[in-house]
Amino acid sequence: MTPQGRFAEIAREIGRAALITVIEGPRLGAKMLVLPGGAREGTLGSPEVDDEGARLADELMWAERSERRGALFVDVTFPPPRLIIFGAIDFAAQLCTLARTSGWRPYVSDPRGFFARADRFPDAEEVIAAWPEEAFERLGGIDRATSIAVLTHDPKLDDAALTIALRSDAAYVGAMGSTRAQAKRRDRLLALGLTEEELERLNAPIGLDLGALTPEETALSIMGEVVAQRRGREGGRLSHAEGRIHEVEA
């Protein structure tokens, strides 16, 4: 199968890949497919150009946008992003609903089977009754399009999930808890061997400062921060923003 044919197949399966095409010069029309793990199919004409194409493909398939870069055009396809929620608490259902409405694929995990039931989270892609390590394995690991919200309020579960999440490629990691609870969590995670750099990735207390009171408002606060970080924004008011306020797809 040609790189173009394989790319079309992956797009139909809602997978992730990048197709690089030479659009100028003597190798006009040459194509190379790049997969998330770095595997390549086809060639752009030389090892040097192939390496540059692969670098651009890795950048843009995770940035999730197609672009022209010099003499190359990089076309990308990708699935909806994932939100993995640890803690089958009541308002996790509202977070699943909001995530689903926003085009995300939400998952819920909690080792307590009584709470981790599919009937409680109808908008979740899957509800997994397992400890974090097993849950991550069943979900195929953590990639750069995965965000993680830890909501359990149980140090045993929180710390187990965060130790894995903060050492992963996750785009976002957030956790519930008061400022005092965060200080205690920080001490525990340092004792478990996490570094200051790893802890800097943690968004805690989780969410934007909306003054949320209800489960629905709390879900909005969390989802707002998840989206803002995914897009490289601070989540402030648009009336205070400079430059373009919305990214417009071509």
Q: Based on the fold, state whether residues 100 and 163 are members of the same structural domain.
A: yes
Q: Based on the fold, state whether residues 224 and 101 are members of the same structural domain.
A: yes
Model confidence at 82, pLDDT cuts 50, 70, 90, reads very high
Q: Based on the fold, state whether residues 163 and 107 are members of the same structural domain.
A: yes
9-36, pLDDT tens digit by residue? 999 999 999 999 999 999 999 999 999 9
How confident is the model at residue 249, as a pLDDT? 47
Model confidence at 247, pLDDT cuts 50, 70, 90, reads low
Residue-range definition of the domain harbouring residue 16 = 3-77
Amino acid letter for position 147? S
Model confidence at 250, pLDDT cuts 50, 70, 90, reads very low
Number of domains in the chain: 2
Q: Based on the fold, state whether residues 45 and 132 are members of the same structural domain.
A: no
- How far is the first Cα of the chain from the last one, in angstroms, to the nearest whole number? 28
Q: What is the CATH number of the domain that holds 224?
A: 3.40.50.720
Q: What is the mean pLDDT of residues 120-135?
A: 96
Q: Based on the fold, state whether residues 67 and 92 are members of the same structural domain.
A: no
- pTM metric for this prediction: 0.88
For residue 12, what are the CA distances in angstroms to 6, 7, 18, 59, 62?
Answer: 10, 9, 14, 22, 18
Nearest residue to 164 (alpha-carbon basis) of 130, 189, 127: 189
177-214, pLDDT tens digit by residue? 888 888 899 999 999 999 999 999 999 999 999 998 89
Percent of the chain clearing pLDDT 70 (strictly above): 94
Q: Based on the fold, state whether residues 42 and 90 are members of the same structural domain.
A: no
Domain boundary among 77, 99, 121: 77
Pairing state between β 17-22 and 72-77: antiparallel
Distance of CA 60 to the CA centre of its chain: 14
pLDDT at 248 over 50: no
Flag whether 244 is in a domain. no
Flag whether 185 is in a domain. yes
Q: What are phi and psi of 68, to 5 degrees?
A: -90, 135
Q: Is 104 helix (H, G, I), strand (E, B) or coil?
A: coil
Model confidence at 239, pLDDT cuts 50, 70, 90, reads low
Flag whether 36 is in a domain. yes
